[in-house]
Structure formats: C-alpha cells, structure tokens
C-alpha cells in the first residue's frame, strides 16, 4: 500500500512537471519559429508568461527525483548508471535554458548579447525534453542491464530509434501545450491567432510523432501495439486523448482559451497515464526488470516519506495556487 502511494505521488509529480514545466520548454521551442513579423512582441508574451512561474514549475522535477531516490533507490541508481549520458545532456539543457532565460530578462543592456541568450534558450528548450523522452523510451525498451562492454551497458539502453521517436514526441507535445497556453496570455487578437495556429500545427506534429513512436517500436522489435492491446487502461487513455482532439480544435478555433488549456493539459496527462499503465508495475524494463516492489525502500522509509509528502503538499499547494491565481487569471474578459 505504501509502495503504491509513493508511486502515485511520483506519477503525479511527473504529470505536473510535464503539464507545467513542459509548457515552459514548449514556449522556448516556439521562439525558434516566431517569424519576422511582430517577433519582439511575441517574445515578450512568452517572457511575461514564463517569468513568474517557470522556477516553481521546474521544482516538480526535483520533487519527482527526491521521491524516486528516497522511495525507489534501486531504480534511481539503475537509471543513473544506464542513462548517464542522456541525463547529463539533459542537465546541460536545464542549466542553459534557465540561465539564458534569466540573463535575457535581467541583463540591463539590450545589445547583441540578447541574440545569444535567445538562441541558447530556444536550443536548450528542445534539448531537455528530447533527452527526457530518450530516457523514458529507454525505460520501456528493456535493453538495460544486458551486460557486455561500454556500448551495451551505457549507450545501447537509450540509443535506439524508439527512444529518439519518444524524444521527438515529447518535444512536439510540449510545444503544443505551450502554444495552447500562450493563446490566453495576450489580448492582442493577431497574436492570439498566431499562437492558436501554431498550436494546431504542433498538435498535428504530436499526432505524427506519436505514429512515429509506433513505427520505431516495430523497427526496434518492441511490441508496443500488442502491449497497448494487453493493457486496457493504457488503451483507454489513448482513446480518450485522441477523442479530446475534436473539442480541442473547436475550442481553439472559437477562442475558448480555458477550455483549450484544460483539454491540452488533460491530453498530456492521459499520454503519461497511458505510459504508466503500460509499465505498471515495472519502473525500468530490463533483463531483470526493476519493479516498484523490487526497487522500493522498506515501509519504515516509505511511511515517513509519505507523511512528509502530504505535509509538504499541504504547505506548498496554497502558495502555488496563489501564485497561479495572481499571474494566470488576470484577464477576466478572455476567461484565460
């Protein structure tokens, strides 16, 4: 029971990281495609939208990490060894993204240096989610713990078509999420239209990348389709996520920003939920799979961890809601 509760908290924090932190990465990706027309204004919308919340959104990753190494230490150490290389690239992305965004905002001189900040910000915003996807793909594929040389132990677990496809899928999803959120961040009709248009493109790309994931799975000999068929909960998540596409497009076209936001966030949550259901109870597919039970710390650790998580959540949640209310519910005319 404690194991499931800790795993549940881990899952929720991953979902919240994707739904909030993922959108910040997606916003960075948008900057690569702003076009010449009203470029600076679009960039301002992105900066204003991310500025107050991105550091708080980022903390969900830390929380997930802490729950993982506290509650499921063997999963953390296995992950750290097999996915060392993609994880350090992800860390480079995290550092460069955060620093370039902050430097751009607070550098008192507005000169060419801002082009460097912006380029780094956009590039790092692709790099980090891509690597997260690569690691997630590797956690499913099951090439961890094969033994052998450097290549088999530290490269092949993640260097696969499947991992790359999951990486692209994550990028597309985050870009889509961000574009949907950004529609509600401005009252300028033209800019809203541009973000909505980009949301539709990114949505199309997400669907395409999702298809690519299935193709790559076939190429890597990973029976993803059969796995979905064998896990009704995963299948249900996928069907629901797909079914949400139609109302989402309607909401986007009619400018119902809150509805679109909720639908887009639910789609991302459903994709992750489907993944969790597909994996359960395995955390890392491997020659000897790391399951929740085999990775878990003893109850004497999990029980106090859960108390701490509950107490911490009770402390943080009201402040977090206050933050989001102050900055994200300010344009009553546009129900955003």
Partner 1 sequence: MPDLLVARVQMGLFLGFHIVFAAIGIAMPFLMAAAHARALRGNDSASRELTRAWSRGVAIFFAVGAVSGTVLAFELGLLWPRFMEHAGPIIGMPFSWEGFAFFVEAIALGLFLYGAERLKGWVHWASGVAVGISGVLSGMFVVCANAWMNHPAGFDWVDGQARNIDPWAAMFNRAALGQGVHMILAAFEATGFAVAGVHAFGLLRRPGSAFHRQALHIALAMGAVAAIVQPLSGDRLAKAAAEWQPAKFAAMESLFHTSRPAPILLGGIPDEGTQSVALGIEVPRLLSFLAHGDFDAEVAGLDRVPRDEWPPVAAVHLAFQVMVACGSILALAGVCVLLALWRRPQWLERRRVLWVFVLLSPLGFVALEAGWAVTEVGRQPWIIYGILRTADAVTPMPGLVYPFMLFTAMYGLLAAAVAWLMVRQFRHVH
User: What does 15-76 look like in DSSP terms, one character per residue?
Assistant: HHIIIIIHHHHHHHHHGGG--STTHHHHHHHHHHHHTTTHHHHHHHHHHHHHHHHHH-HHHH
Rule CB under 8 A: say whether 151 interacts with partner 1: no
Which structure tokens are listed for 133? 């996807």
Count of residues of this chain found to bind partner 1 when the rule CB under 8 A is applied? 66
Selected from 8, 44, 81, 229, the binder of partner 1 by CB under 8 A is 81
Cα 9 from chain centroid (whole Å)? 16
Rule CB under 8 A: say whether 114 interacts with partner 1: no
Rule CB under 8 A: say whether 43 interacts with partner 1: no
Dihedral angle computed from the Cα positions of residues 227, 266, 185 and 41, in that order, rounded to the nearest 10 degrees: 10
Selected from 51, 197, 223, 232, the binder of partner 1 by CB under 8 A is 51
Q: By the 8 A CB rule, do 142 and 156 touch? A: no
Rule CB under 8 A: say whether 310 interacts with partner 1: no
Rule CB under 8 A: say whether 52 interacts with partner 1: yes
Q: By the 8 A CB rule, do 43 and 27 touch? A: no
Rule CB under 8 A: say whether 106 interacts with partner 1: yes
Q: What distance in Å separates the CA atoms of residue 196 and residue 185, rounded to the nearest whole number?
A: 11
Rule CB under 8 A: say whether 204 interacts with partner 1: no
Q: Which is nearer to partner 1, 125 or 234 (CB)?
A: 125
Rule CB under 8 A: say whether 281 interacts with partner 1: no
Rule CB under 8 A: say whether 236 interacts with partner 1: no
Rule CB under 8 A: say whether 17 interacts with partner 1: no
Q: Which residues contact 86 (CB under 8 A, 6 or more apart)?
A: 131, 134, 135, 138, 158
Which structure tokens are listed for 210? 């999702």
Selected from 8, 197, 281, 312, the binder of partner 1 by CB under 8 A is 312
Where on the chain is the footprint of partner 1 (CB under 8 A)? 51-53, 55-56, 58-59, 61-63, 65-67, 69-71, 73-74, 76-81, 84-85, 87-88, 91-92, 94-99, 101-103, 105-109, 150, 153-154, 297-298, 300-301, 304-305, 308-309, 312-313, 315-316, 319-320, 322-323, 326-327, 330
């Amino acid at each position: 029971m404690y194991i499931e509760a800790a795993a549940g908290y881990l899952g929720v924090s991953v979902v919240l990281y994707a739904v909030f932190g993922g959108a910040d990465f997606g916003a960075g990706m948008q900057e690569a495609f702003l076009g010449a027309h009203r470029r600076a204004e679009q960039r301002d919308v992105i900066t204003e939208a991310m500025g107050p919340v991105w550091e708080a959104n980022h903390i969900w990753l830390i929380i997930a990490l802490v729950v993982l190494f506290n509650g499921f230490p063997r999963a953390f150490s296995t992950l750290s060894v097999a996915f060392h290389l993609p994880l350090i690239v992800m860390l480079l992305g995290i550092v460069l993204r955060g620093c370039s965004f902050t430097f751009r905002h607070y550098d008192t001189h507005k000169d060419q240096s801002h082009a460097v900040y912006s380029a780094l910000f956009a590039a790092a915003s692709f790099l980090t989610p891509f690597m997260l996807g690569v690691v997630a793909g590797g956690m499913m594929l099951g090439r961890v713990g094969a033994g052998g040389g450097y290549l088999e132990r530290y490269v092949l677990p993640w260097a696969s078509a499947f991992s790359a496809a999951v990486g692209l899928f994550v990028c597309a999803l985050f870009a889509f999420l961000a574009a949907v959120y950004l529609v509600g961040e401005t009252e300028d009709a033209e800019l809203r239209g541009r973000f909505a248009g980009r949301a539709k493109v990114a949505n199309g790309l997400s669907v395409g990348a999702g298809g690519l994931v299935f193709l790559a799975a076939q190429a890597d000999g990973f029976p993803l389709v059969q796995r979905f068929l064998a896990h009704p909960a995963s299948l249900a998540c996928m069907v629901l996520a797909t079914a949400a596409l139609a109302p989402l497009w309607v909401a986007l076209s009619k400018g119902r920003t809150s509805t679109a936001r909720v639908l887009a966030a639910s789609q991302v949550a459903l994709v992750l939920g489907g993944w969790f259901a597909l994996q359960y109870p395995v955390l890392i597919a491997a020659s000897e799979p790391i399951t929740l039970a085999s990775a878990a710390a003893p109850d004497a650790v999990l029980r106090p961890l859960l108390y701490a998580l509950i107490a911490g959540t009770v402390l943080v949640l009201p402040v977090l809601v206050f933050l989001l209310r102050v900055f994200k519910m300010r344009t009553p005319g546009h129900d955003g």
